[in-house]
Structure 1
Amino acid sequence: MASTAAVPNLAFRQLRGQRSAGEFAAVVRRAAREIGEQVACDARYIGRVESGEIRCPNYAYERVFLHMFPGASLADLGFSARESVRGRGARVVSEPPPVHGRRGDAPAPAAASPSGPHAPLLPHDSRPHHDHLFAHHDHPFLHRDHLLHRDTEPDDIPEESDVLRRVFMTSGTTTVAAASLGLGGAPASAAQVSLPAQRRVGEAEVNAVEKAVRQIRLLDDRHGADGLYRRAAQPLRAAYELLDAGTTARRATSDRLHAGAGELAISVGWLAHDSGRFDDARSHYAEALATARLAGDAGLEAHAFCNTSFLARDAGRPREAVRAAEAGQRAARTLGSPRLLALLALREAGGRAGLGDRTGCDRAIGRARAAFDRGTAAGDPEWMSFFREAELELLEAQCWSALGDWSRAARHGLRATALQDAHFTRNLALYRAQLTGDLARAGRADEAAATGHQVLDLLTRVQSSRIRGMLAGAARVLEPRAGGVSGAASFLTRHRESRSA
């Protein structure tokens, strides 16, 4: 029986208003946290709802939407009654297409909205001439102002789907097992999914790779890298085995798999980087760069060079940091993302600061701020969700710190901590660790000690060798001044105890 054509959900689209699909998805995730739900809402999910592909949300999303818009029913939000979509058609809500089917079945249609690490936002976001369709703000549920603000937590919490919620993948000759990415010894239960005999890779496998990337980023934001790195190697191996052994039905699927595998290599490389395993990180970033070159993926290439530059700076190779950042800027020029160019210019600035090139550093910072001020764009990659004004201030603080201008570094560090989103727990610790060191070197021992205490509070939840190393450096600077500064003595005592615990 032929399926009914999807009918766009104009009521739900009106709720989004002038926000991009990604921004509205962040609002949904924040509302979910308010009631203890976990949903993986992202721009693609919003696109599926607005296109009518999702006729009725699953129960978790239903609870979140009704919380967001009290007094509304699903019908008010443009959805069909659950009873009318039960059966096979009702399972499109959060599940991937089936992994296998009868021989000769037509492939599932492509999603209505782009997805993947380098996809632009939905067409509404990049075409202002559509906005007149939804310009009237008289919808009765558009006024929950405390919900409708930007929220920068990444789109990373797994959904109910058996394949996608278990994002760690290991491949065998005929199976892909996806296991949970738990912390602290959480069980790695696996959901077995049979692959067809021809080893064809489809939407389910590509989605699982992409979900693994998002999950790693989410857990790193919350907990730091030290406890994640070893476990993250498993899905990375699986992703590259899919590339080596699998075949895909469509070029678009192949491109997404290459991009997903490359992004996964960068994510695992970052875990190695942040936990002090610089050689491992360098290898993972090189793997991602090779994947980008083979696939002709300029976005992935720019990301790989961005992280390579960051690693080179931290590893004491500032000239390499500059070269990698410049190469990243060349790759990024056609991507339509001023914010990406801004981040790459800051990576260059960090390298030039390491070379003692104050003039070159200042110029690179100026280019970064000019590009940043151009605002967000449809071409901004998904992985840059962390790059807000707080991060710009932090990276500039690090540049002035490397040049020995401690007071200027502390000034930017204070701005970074004031602007930082509270959902990025790891960055709360990172920014304060940087500030502690800059305040200590600027001779502001009491302020440094107070900020250091805040870092120690956060390190009960964050595992990052890099952050601990930064704090240890600040403690060494404070040691000679501890005798005359009671706050410094208290911090140093607590810091020593934390290291021996």
Structure 2
Amino acid sequence: MAASPHSPNSTFRHLRGQHSPAEFAALVRRSAREIGETVSCDARYIGRVESGEIRCPNYAYERVFLHMFPGRSLADLGFSPREAVRGRAARSGPFSALTQRPHTTPTTPVHITPTLTTGSGSGPGSRFRESDVLRRAFMAGGSVTVAAATIGLTLLGDSRRIPARVGAAEAAAVEDAVRQIRLLDDRHGADALYRKAAEPLRTAYALLDAGAARQSTQDRLHAGAGELAVSVGWLAHDSGRLDDARSHYAEALATARVSGDAGLEAHAFSNMAFLALDGGRSREAVRAAQAGRRAARSLGSPRLLSLLDLREAGAWAGLDDRKACEESLARAHTEFSRGGSGSDPEWMSFFGEAELESLEARCWAALGEYARAARHARRAADLQGPSFARNLALYTAELAGYLAHAGAPDEAAWAGGRVLDLLAEIQSTRIRSMLATTADTLAPYRRSPRVAAFLDRHAAV
């Protein structure tokens, strides 16, 4: 029977058996790898499940748990139905859930409701609680008819006034907004999310300014608002709004510095390094990656250090410094080989072997070794599980570009066609720009039937 909102999940505790929480968390991570998922499960997460704090796992954890216990449903594992945890119908208007919730006391649990609005602009549009339904809606509607996919961050009461003192419910809502944005971005890309995700960010910082009665809640608000700023910054980055992204990342970094949050500081610097490299500022990218590594040293997460080393490697490649790039790559592989740990940040769920291969591929491409880059990009695409649909599209688009530059036009056209298939459900200016560049590179090879088919299809899209 599913756990009630305030009762411990004794069913899940029974399933853990004689394993310690840390041992069981290791089993969860291993099971995730078996099905191509990446979860940062640790003893603390297991404790939150067993205490009843996590009433229903996110979609990645759901797939892992059902893989671990075949034939059982989430209810059989002691969880509440997802719709009971997350579902709450929006109020009037297509995006009113961004700033309103039903009139409640400040201690009432606050929920995040994903909403999808179709492109006609009339009426409230369609709203869906489940990400899989969202995915199908994107696929059915296509990129032309989908105007926005957004997060409903229901933090405020009907008065729309910031409470005099913020409580744990509001802090939890900010944290859940971060998870929901990441979930939708993984599946659909950033373009349709960015504009509407900015409103929850403003609300989160207004709550932070209002202050909380307890220091622990204030710390959660700092961390949550900062992570939300990074997430919204990434949506800006991926949708081609680089100046907006720079501003959001700076806001996250300032929040980290004020609160002394080394994890948030490392995250902000990691994204700033990525953004600087995309903007052609490789020297700045080196400094940001190195600063992120300094912040991360005390966190006990080899995977985080590996990611920052890869950011630095890409920056050295951008500066055409092969020796420094190879040294950074070697450090990245060494840290990655140490495996995951309970200290890995939750936001790093995307960083597995596939992402490592992709980031290394970018290094070799920047150094002009496109055939070598293509080998790594192919491995990245092969390793990427279907739950990260955006990353699968990204890795395949990278592969197409590298193959085109490596003198393999037919293979590049095949990969480009695969990206077009994936773009039926992905909204990413970054990926579309990469594919357009590949199409330009392949234009001289139009005499090839496969290349011609790809170019015609790309032009039509």
- Cα 1:189–1:327 shift into 2, 3 Å: closer
Contact 2:25–2:42 (8 Å) recurs in 1:
no
Compute the displacement of 1:14 (Å): 1.9
- Cα 1:310–1:254 shift into 2, 3 Å: same
- Cα 1:225–1:170 shift into 2, 3 Å: same
The residue aligned with 2:195 is: 230
The residue aligned with 1:496 is: 459
Q: What 5-or-longer segments of structure 1 have no aligned partner?
A: 31-40, 80-92, 96-156
The residue aligned with 2:362 is: 398
The residue aligned with 2:114 is: 181
Compute the displacement of 1:7 (Å): 9.6
Contact 1:94–1:161 (8 Å) recurs in 2:
no
Distance in structure 2 (CA, Å) of the matches to 1:468 and 1:439: 17
- Cα 1:412–1:55 shift into 2, 3 Å: closer
Compute the displacement of 1:319 (Å): 0.6
Q: Which amino acid aligns with 2:322?
A: R
Structure 1 vs Structure 2: percent identity of aligned residues? 56
Compute the displacement of 1:202 (Å): 1.4
The residue aligned with 1:208 is: 173
Aligned residue pair count: 401
SS of corresponding position for 1:378: coil
CA-atom RMSD, angstroms? 3.9
SS of corresponding position for 2:368: coil
CA radius of gyration, larger in: 1
- Cα 1:350–1:453 shift into 2, 3 Å: same
- Cα 1:73–1:294 shift into 2, 3 Å: closer
The residue aligned with 2:208 is: 243
Q: Which amino acid aligns with 1:241?
A: A
Contact 2:42–2:342 (8 Å) recurs in 1:
no
SS of corresponding position for 2:99: strand
Distance in structure 1 (CA, Å) of the matches to 2:285 and 2:346: 23
- Per-residue CA deviation, residues 129-178 of structure 1 (Å, 9 max, x unaligned), is xxxxxxxxxxxxxxxxxxxxxxxxxxxx8862568999965389x98897
Contact 1:436–1:449 (8 Å) recurs in 2:
yes
- Cα 1:370–1:44 shift into 2, 3 Å: closer
The residue aligned with 1:118 is: none
Distance in structure 2 (CA, Å) of the matches to 1:163 and 1:16: 37
The residue aligned with 1:348 is: 312
The residue aligned with 2:85 is: 160
Distance in structure 2 (CA, Å) of the matches to 1:22 and 1:164: 37
Partner of residue 17 from structure 2, selected from 14, 37, 56: 14
Partner of residue 457 from structure 1, selected from 421, 430, 441: 421
Contact 1:66–1:72 (8 Å) recurs in 2:
no
The residue aligned with 2:235 is: 271
Distance in structure 1 (CA, Å) of the matches to 2:351 and 2:371: 24
Partner of residue 23 from structure 1, selected from 2, 24, 28: 28
The residue aligned with 1:170 is: 99
Compute the displacement of 1:189 (Å): 7.6
Within a 5 Å distance, the mapping from 1:34-433 to structure 2 comes to: 46-51=46-51, 53=52, 68=69, 70=71, 160-161=85-86, 169-170=98-99, 180-185=113-118, 186-187=126-127, 193=157, 199-245=164-210, 247-433=211-397
- Per-residue CA deviation, residues 331-382 of structure 1 (Å, 9 max, x unaligned), is 0000000000000000001111111111111111110000000000111000
SS of corresponding position for 2:114: coil
The residue aligned with 2:123 is: none
- Cα 1:383–1:477 shift into 2, 3 Å: same
Greater helix fraction, Structure 1 or Structure 2: 2
TM-score (norm 2): 0.77
Contact 2:378–2:399 (8 Å) recurs in 1:
yes
- Cα 1:295–1:22 shift into 2, 3 Å: farther
Instruction: Determine whether 1:442 maps to 2:406.
Output: yes
- Cα 1:165–1:386 shift into 2, 3 Å: farther
- Cα 1:197–1:376 shift into 2, 3 Å: closer
Q: What 5-or-longer segments of structure 2 have no aligned partner?
A: 1-5, 36-40, 119-125, 128-150
TM-score (norm 1): 0.71
